[in-house]
Every structure is written in C-alpha cells, then in structure tokens.
Structure 1
Amino acid sequence: MKSLDLFLLLLIVAFTVSRPVEAQNQAGFISLDCGLVPKETTYLEATTNITYKSDANYTDSGLVGKINDAHKTLVQQPLWAVRSFPEGQRNCYNFNLTVNRTYLIRGTFMYGNYDGLNQSPSFDLHIGASKWTSVNIIEETDTVMPEIIHVLTQDRLQVCLVKTGKTTPFISSLELRPLQKGTYIAQSGSLVLQSRYFSSDSTSIIRYDEDIHDRVWNPISDDGSSSISTDLEVQTNNFYDVPQAVMKTAAIPKNASAPWSLVWTIENTTALSYVYMHFAEIQNLKANESREFNITYNGGKLWYPQFRPNKLSIITMYSQVPLTSSNGVYNFTFEMTSNSTLPPLLNALEIYTGVDILQLHTDKDEVSAIMNIKTTYGLSKKISWQGDPCAPQLYRWEGLNCSYPDSEASRIISLNLNASQLNGTITSDITKLTQLSELDLSNNDLSGEIPAFLADMKSLKLINLSGNPKLNLTVPDSLQQRVNSKSLTLILGEKVLNPTPKKESKKVPMVTIAASVAGVFALLLILAIFFIVRGKKGKRNEAPGPPPSVTSGIVKSETRSSNPSIMTKDRRITYPEVLKMTNNFERVLGKGGFGTVYHGNLDDAQVAVKMLSHSSAQGYKEFKAEDANSRRGGTR
C-alpha cells in the first residue's frame, strides 16, 4: 500500500463522507416530451413516476409528429410524439439555469417512421456553439439516448439539433437533471457517456425513482461471470448516490483462479476516457475468508493494488487523470492476490469520454438583449434566430454582424431588421448592444417617437428608420447634436439627416439623397447627380454632351459622352459611395435655388452632387423637372 502515491486515483468511501441523501423528488428536473400537444399538457409516466411536459415553451420552431401506432407498445409514452425540424440548419432548445451547476443532459430519439418516409435520420447535437455528438438512426424502432454531463459557464443553455445531410433532425424527449457539485469532474470539457452498467441476470434497466438523479443503469452479464446479490441494505450515500438496486448486486468471475477481464472499445482513438467503478462487499465473509485483488489495465499497467471492498458500504474508484489507448481498446483485469480466498468483485461501472465544449458565446448581456428584442417584436419565425446569436460564425443569426475577439465573448456590431414586420415603439433593449455601429429598422410599422437614448450609444454610426409611416420623425436635440458633429448618420423616410446650419431648426429632416450601407440598407431616391467631365487634350474646346440624370437611385448617361469612364448602363449609387466621392461633402462648388452643389470624383471623373435644400423655395417636382430639362439639353 506504500506505493499508492504512484497511482492517480481517488476512492470515495461512503462511511467517510457524511451527507444526507436528498429527498426523492424532482426538484430541478426538466422533463420534456417533445411534440406533446397541447402545450399546456403534463402527465405522470407510470413506469418511472416522472412528470413530463410539452417542449413548446423551450423552442419556437419545429413540427409535431407521431410515431407509427404499431411501435407505441414498445416504448414509454415520452417517445410516442416527436418534434422535427425540416427548416433551417440549426434549431435549438433554450433554458435558463444556474451558472456553475453540473447537469446531466439526455436526449432520446426514436424515429418510429413518424414521417412515413422510412428513412435513417442522421444529424448532430450541439451544446451551445460546440458539437456534443452525432445521432445516427438505423432501424425505425432503434432508440438512441446520448447523454452528457456538463458544467454551465453561464445561466443560459442551448441544446441544438444541426442538419448535416439530407435527412431531417428530430427528437423524442429531452431531459435535464442537476447533479451534486464536485461529481464527475473532467480534466477539461464535459463528459459524454459511453456505458453505464451493473451486474444482473435481469433485463430491466434502473433509473428514477430508484436513482434519485435519474441515471439510466443497464444490466449486463457475460459467459465469464456470474451475478450475486444480497437483501441487506448497502450504504450508498457518497457523492455519487448509486442506487440500492445497483449496489445490492455484483459480478464475480466464474473461474476464480484465472484473471477476469472487462474489455470495451471506444471508436475515437484520440478520446480521453474516464472510468468510475463502484464496489461494495455484499457477502458475509467467514473468519477464514478474504477478498483482495489487483486491478490492471491495457497490458498490465497497475491501476490499484491489493484492493479490498468495504462490507455493505460503497467505494467509488476513479482516476484523477484520463486514460488513453492508442487503438481505442480498454482491457481492465481483476486478479486475486495470494492473500485472497475469494474472487474479485465489481458492482457497477461507468465509462465516459471527454469532449471540449468550447466557450464560444456572445456576451451574456447582449444575448439577453437580443432575446428580449426577439420576444418584443415576435421574431420567433426568423428561422436562423436559433442558439447563440454570434457563435459559431457559421450559424450566426441572419441580419447580425459580430466581432470575434480572441479571448473575449463575441459582440453584436450591426443589426439589420429591415422589412421584419416590426410594430410598436423602438425598444430600449437596443441600448444594451453597446458595440452596435449600424442599426437598420427600415420598412416596418414602428410608431411613437424617435427615442433620445439612441444618442447615448457612442458606437452607433448609422441609423436607418426609413419606411415607417407611423413613426414621428421629430428628432431629439441630443440625436441632432450627434448628426451635427458628424459622428452619426440618420436616415428618415427618403431623407438623410445631415448637419444643420445653426440658425435653422434641428427638428426637421432636411436633405434628400440615395443611401445604401454595406448592401443592407434600403435604396433611397437619388435626386441629383450630374457629371462634369474634363475632355481629352484634343477635345477641350468641344462642347460637352448633356449630363447624366439620376432617378430612383439609378445613374443614366447619354452614349455620346466623350469620356469613356461614363457608363452607358444603369448604375446604382449608394450613400457610402456619395460620401466617398465628395469626401464627406467637403468642397462646395456653389449654391442655387434648389440647394448646395458639392465637388466629387467618381471612377476618375469629376462629378458634382446637387442636393435639395430644406430651405429651397422650390420643391421636389420642380427639382426633378430641372433635372429632366438638363437631360434634354437644357441649361442649369
């Protein structure tokens, strides 16, 4: 025993750990029957005494289906219905839970030919932005139950189904169970269940309410071992709370004099494995009897020497560091020592592999904000708005752009809700997106005032509120000041609010021009751009052709222009291009009855940009008439 310090393992002994067993209730349980309707329905499943409810309040997508009636007698009620996700690549369940709490998360999948297509569905499961496992259904009556033990790093959890091929993801039930803090600790990441066995000649599984944590224990027996049992109570109240029904049975080898081996294979040969063995002596040993054995693995590596189980009291043995195998095969051997008169014994075994659930996520305050925005405006029908808003980047929500700093949470930097059927007032939750630089709420049915709080968003550079006929276009002073300082561009209706002369009112939108930002904002009306073209050396005295006209955001020019850089096809001029060509309206060429004319450059040609002034005594129709006159050869 002096060599124990050489072995990276721990023993959890029932009588050395004093902790009352939790009452057998379902506090903290989340038990979802996926596809159960109506959504208010709950029921008590007779064989487990677990209360199930509909999943409708945890996801806002998917279709309800029922398995083939012929299969219902084979499975429990939570598997009779399914929720499938034919639309979108990623569909998620959302939970508000307790940060730093350990949860057992289990999905159950029973195809049952619910769609009548006789398919073999295949898809992935994700925890947040990281892959948990793949689900592959072969036969329509197969039941697949992947399970993961995961410590929450924030108070939100998303469990997502991700389409990976042509078949449709679906789920039968989804269950979350809180676990005792400090149990099942991985060196890094989370633990994916490979197997959980106990020795029994029966074929019945054990779960709640015999297991207060609702772990599923599968009976196992083989030709090389036999099962023994006791009617006496076994003390099981260590950190793991292995149920009495599991610990009252044990496997022993049929040939006591020969080494007894347990072998399993893990497909992923690079995976790190975690093994938990539960022992208790359940036989009354006579004075001249003893049970002592050595445990080795993979070719004689000593895992624990001279081990003696405690009488009617659980000992849980596990390694502090994960085990590895170059070929994925793990062979544990139990062999009597020379001091032993009885063969080795094992009551139960759990095998896990580690998986890194990467901490890719959006800032939690911004997640709360965008979720509130989603709820406020009823955006649940947006197919891509599932799971984490920014992570992974492949599944980023439609209409969002995000930043991805190396060591920090992602942040939302632009939000485009153009033509999203928004109604009501502009929600203050937008202010919680503190890194937002562009906001597009155009072409909706928003009403009320333009809120002054938008001026406080220091990162905000552009706001598009056009196409909201019910919106009061009076601009708050604080927002006008941002515009005047050129730190913000504000688009209202067919209008872009630019800096206002000091003597003029700050609350009236002034200038009309076309705008399109990053290909996102709606195209507005370009009222006046005409080209002033420098002729070639040999044609300097040649009379120039008529200037191009601009209508509905499309530049049109006559084919007789002497400058080859002037296009003869329709071209859309975006607002950022106008800002660039005029160097942010830097150089004034002159002023006329309609407004100011600015110098600019476009495609190596000099241009003049004429904008209708708010103070012009002449109106929009007259302005267009003058523009049309110029196209017919008239003068300006």
Structure 2
Amino acid sequence: MPGFVSVDCGGNESYTDELGLEWTPDSQFVYGETTRISAPNENRKQYMTVRYFPADNRKYCYTFNVTVRTRYLVRTSFLYGNFDESNVYPKFDISIGASHWTTIVIYDANTIVTHEAVILATAPAISICVSNATTGEPFISTIELRHFNGSLYHTDFETQFFLSLSARINFGAETNESVRYPDDPYDRIWESDSLKRVNYLVDVAAGTQRISTTVPIDVNSDERPPSKVMQTAVVGQNGGLNYRLNLNGFPGNGWAFCYFAEIEDLKPDEIRKFRLVLPGNKELTHLIVNVEENAQRKYRLYEPGSYNISLPFVLSFKKTNDSSKGPILNAFEIYKYMEINYRSLDALTMERFVSHYPKEVWAQEGGDPCLPAPWSWVQCNSDPQPQIVSMY
C-alpha cells in the first residue's frame, strides 16, 4: 500500500501477509543480532523473529524517510518469546528521535506488547530508537509506519507534542478480533470491547446491550473510523453506560474523542438524548448528544470530544429526562500528549557530517547525536538541549 512501511525485525525476506500487507526485512540494519522465536498460539511470520541489542549505554535506531508536514502513525511491537533463553523479562526505553516515547515492560514471554503514536514529520526522516535497558536486553519485533492524509489527528499542539495511543476501542464488537486493514484503510487497530483485562473496561453498567447493523455507515469526515467499527455499538437499556479504564499516564492531559452513529431504527415517538458525565468538566458535561440530529441523519458519523482534556478515565453516559432511549457508544480513541524534544544543538551539523560516510558503520547509528543517549564516538554535555563537547 502507498504510504505503508512494515518492517519485520530479524526477518530475512520480503513477503505479503494474510491481510495483504507487504513486509520487508531489516537485513540491511548493521547493529544487533537476530534470532527466531516461538510462542504458543502465534504463527504470524512477522512475530517469528526479533532483533536484539546489547544492554549497554547506547541507543539503537531505525531511520525512515518521510514526507515533511505529514502525519504518521508509528507502531512498534515486541514479542519476547524468551529469545535469549534467560527468562529475564526485558525493560527498556523507546524514543522517537530525541523524544522519549515510553518504557517497554515485558510481563509475559508470549504476549505481544504494542505501542502506537501519531506524529507530525518536521524533518525528512524519523528515527525509532531503543535504549536504556534496566533488565534483560532491548529488542524489537516489528516497526510500522502509516501515512495519514489531510487533517486526520491534527491538533493545535502538534509542533510541541505528539500523540501516544492509550486506547482505541470498538464497542459492541461481535468477536474478540480486532478491526484493522483492509477494513480500516489507515490500518489503525481497533480493539474489541469483548477482550477482558484487569481494570480495563470494568464497572460496566447494568442493562448494557450490544447492537449491530449491516447498513454501511457514512464515515467520510473527521478521523474517519472504519464503517465496520461504526456498525456495532453498545446501548444503555437502563438509561446509562459506564466504563472504567486504568490507563498508564492518566489522569493526565490527552486527546479524547467518542464516535457515535445511530444504527437503530427509532420509532417516530422515540428519541435518544444523553450527556457525557464528566466531573470537573462543565463544558463537556453540559453537551447533550442527539446522535441522529447531530449527525444530521441515521447511519452517519458524529464525533464529539476534546483536543486537550484531563480525564480520570471513568466514562459515563446518562440519558436525559426527555429521552426514551438510553445512550449509545460505537467507538472511542484516547491519546496522551508526549512532549517533543527538539534535538541537540549540533544535530543538523552532525547529520550533514555523517552523510558523507554512508558506508561507514560508525556513521549509521541514527537518531540524535546526543539524545536519548550519545553516539558511541561523541561526548555531550548535560544541558537540557545538549551540545557535543568532544569526538573520539
């Protein structure tokens, strides 16, 4: 697919997977070692290999050419599979360029850990780096980039912060399977609300019922969630919907939007109106949602939310007194704002310098010369925006 990059870390050949996605190996990468793994109930080819790195004070970066002033979804995944035969679960950092993204914490050898971010490309290349292992060895299974068109996920803060995904949920899902490409042309992964996790989508209100339709949904606006996701929903038959999510980094400032579409054929004397109950946020709590009216018709997307909200992440919807039907929810997304670190002072100069030595291994370390860890042959000071003080 144009605008799609899918890298099988540790792989040795190109192939097309069962979804029609084209994968390429990272065999040109000069750092780290590769090995095969096995995990119960997992046979997708991209997860059968990993590339791993020494647990030292360096960073190890993959660099991708991108289009400036374009937003990208960046997705990384990690399947440990006890690749080092040590049963020591790794813990290490991952960064986008000079900006810390998150800490990868492996709790189970056979569970895939996935992280996604949306970032505006401000330079012709993006680097994804692993570093700072505190246990085990840093490793990576896959890296994916997905080009976003137009204004998807535009925020007024995108030159200061990128978005790190906290939750993207398909409500009313009929199976535990996620929805992604080709149903979602941008290959976002919409997790089923049927998946059970500790402290995730719990405290569900009594009377919550799943509904679905086969009628196509008009999703040609805003963030364009896939029609397949919008064709299912939950409704609060007793007048309310309630979910509690314990998300890393929250309460905190984030981007949060709900996706609604009226997919029931209401009778002429029936009406569905409800509020999002959010203590401490009068603006959103006062918002009355009438999905069919707000979307201007049935089977069409309506997407209210906030570009900058601090949430405890208890989602609660209550029908209004004049409503005959309980609230509906088709999907939602929650991202946390992550501060962008705009590189060390010598970054541009050093990029030009190493570009003259494309065949030298030392010139291919990638990322920022100082952040989050310095290249192996430079020394940087400890200023907030560091500068190189020596090379050796």
What one-letter code is carried by the residue in structure 2 that aligns with 1:170? F
Say which of 278, 291, 307 aligns to 2:289. 307
Q: 1:211-222 residue pairs with structure 2 within 5 A?
A: 211-221=184-194
Which protein shows a greater Rg?
1
Distance 1:120 1:406, change over 3 A: closer
Asked if the contact 1:62/1:83 (under 8 Å) is kept, the reply is yes
1:324 and 2:331 aligned: no
- Match of residue 104 from structure 2: 135
1:397 and 2:375 aligned: yes
Q: Specify which structure has the higher proportion of strand.
A: 2
**Structure 1 Cα separation of the partners of residues 344 and 70 of structure 2:** 18
Tell me the TM-score normalized by structure 1.
0.55
Tell me the TM-score normalized by structure 2.
0.87
- Match of residue 236 from structure 2: 253
**Structure 1 Cα separation of the partners of residues 125 and 305 of structure 2:** 30
1:359 and 2:342 aligned: yes
- Match of residue 240 from structure 1: 223
What one-letter code is carried by the residue in structure 1 that aligns with 2:11? L
**Structure 1 Cα separation of the partners of residues 42 and 78 of structure 2:** 14
Identity %: 27
Unaligned runs of 5+ in 2: 195-201, 293-297
Asked if the contact 1:34/1:171 (under 8 Å) is kept, the reply is yes
Distance 1:139 1:400, change over 3 A: closer
Distance 1:362 1:302, change over 3 A: closer
- Match of residue 198 from structure 2: none
CA deviation profile, 1:113-150 (whole Å, cap 9, x unmatched): 12222221111101111210011111110110011111
Asked if the contact 1:366/1:412 (under 8 Å) is kept, the reply is no
**Structure 2 Cα separation of the partners of residues 299 and 366 of structure 1:** 48
- Match of residue 164 from structure 2: 192
Say which of 12, 33, 36 aligns to 1:66. 36
Equivalent position SS for 1:272: strand
Q: Which has the higher contact order (CA 8 A, sep 6+)?
A: 2
Say which of 224, 236, 249 aligns to 1:268. 249
What one-letter code is carried by the residue in structure 1 that aligns with 2:213? T
CA deviation profile, 1:506-541 (whole Å, cap 9, x unmatched): xxxxxxxxxxxxxxxxxxxxxxxxxxxxxxxxxxxx
- Match of residue 126 from structure 1: 95
What is the deviation of 1:276? 1.1
Q: 1:615-626 residue pairs with structure 2 within 5 A?
A: none
Asked if the contact 2:80/2:109 (under 8 Å) is kept, the reply is yes
Equivalent position SS for 2:356: helix
Q: 1:473-552 residue pairs with structure 2 within 5 A?
A: none
CA deviation profile, 1:444-500 (whole Å, cap 9, x unmatched): xxxxxxxxxxxxxxxxxxxxxxxxxxxxxxxxxxxxxxxxxxxxxxxxxxxxxxxxx
What is the deviation of 1:395? 2.4
**Structure 2 Cα separation of the partners of residues 156 and 391 of structure 1:** 17
Give the total of aligned pairs.
371
Equivalent position SS for 2:291: coil
What is the deviation of 1:211? 0.5
What is the deviation of 1:86? 1.8
**Structure 2 Cα separation of the partners of residues 64 and 162 of structure 1:** 17
Equivalent position SS for 1:395: coil
Distance 1:300 1:130, change over 3 A: closer
Range with greater deviation from structure 2 (283-292 or 221-230): 221-230
Q: Specify which structure has the higher proportion of helix.
A: 1
Asked if the contact 2:128/2:367 (under 8 Å) is kept, the reply is no
Q: 1:359-378 residue pairs with structure 2 within 5 A?
A: 359-361=342-344, 365-375=348-358, 378=359
What one-letter code is carried by the residue in structure 1 that aligns with 2:74? I
**Structure 1 Cα separation of the partners of residues 218 and 186 of structure 2:** 17
Unaligned runs of 5+ in 1: 1-25, 417-636
**Structure 2 Cα separation of the partners of residues 51 and 72 of structure 1:** 24
What one-letter code is carried by the residue in structure 2 that aligns with 1:55? D
- Match of residue 387 from structure 1: 366
Asked if the contact 1:277/1:348 (under 8 Å) is kept, the reply is yes
Equivalent position SS for 2:182: coil
**Structure 1 Cα separation of the partners of residues 24 and 376 of structure 2:** 31
